[in-house]
Amino acid sequence: MNDKIIAITAPSGSGKTTLVKRLLAACPQLSFSVSACTRTPRIGEINGKDYYFYSPEAFQELIKQDAFIEWEMVYTGKYYGTLKSELQRIWDENKTPLVDIDVKGALAIHEQYPNNCISIFIEAPSIDELRKRLAARGTETLNSIEERVTKAKEELTYATHFDHIVINENLETATNELINIVMGYIG
């Protein structure tokens, strides 16, 4: 019976996507838990692989049906949530879901699964570095960058509530640290 969960949180621009890709490649026992969301897909994003993209109305309907473990309005008017069916799908494959989620979502999942969940916070070396990385990514407007930086500052204040903190200053070091934490937990 494999019913563990790994919850990873990181401010937008902290390098989480790369770290998560590397972690998934190194640990075949893990499976990425695809969240539902209402934001517009970015170029290259695939429905069912990166997110399940829903209209706000369809998302509200899922809330009504109690389909989520947790859901959150992460950015203004943009909903994100972890579907119960998604975690079950992964457990049924005898794998461990890797949930990539914001601070509140991670803490909510940890609260619901206190004995079988670890939470990991990925931190950028500094807010300046974070802003630089977001700008370099070229996918966000100036407003969106500032909203993400503001959220990152707020999220940082919750870092100590997490089981582990990984600072992504050097990608190789952070990747190894992350793999060690996860392998130590799922064996």
Binding site for ligand 5GP (CB under 6 A): 12, 35, 39, 70, 72, 74, 80-82, 100-102, 105
Please count the other Cβ atoms lying within 10 Å of the Cβ belonging to residue 138. Answer: 6
Shortest spacing between CB 116 and ligand 5GP, in angstroms:
18
The neighbouring-strand residues paired with 123 are 167
Minimum separation from the CB atom of position 20 to ligand 5GP (A): 10
Q: Which is nearer to ligand 5GP, 59 or 80 (CB)?
A: 80
CB nearer to ligand 5GP: pick between 53 and 185: 53
Helix segments in 13-141, DSSP class H: 16-26, 56-64, 84-92, 103-112, 127-137
Min CB(126)–ligand 5GP separation in Å: 18
Select from 13, 8, 7, 9 the least CA-distant residue to 150: 13
Structure tokens at 165: 């903190």
Distance in Å, CB of 187 to ligand 5GP, minimum: 26
Phi first, then psi, for residue 37 (nearest 5°) are -155, 165
Give the residue with the Cβ less far from ligand 5GP, 80 or 177.
80
Q: Which is nearer to ligand 5GP, 81 or 97 (CB)?
A: 81
- Taking Cα atoms as reference points, which of 169, 172, 69, 88 lies closest to residue 126? 169
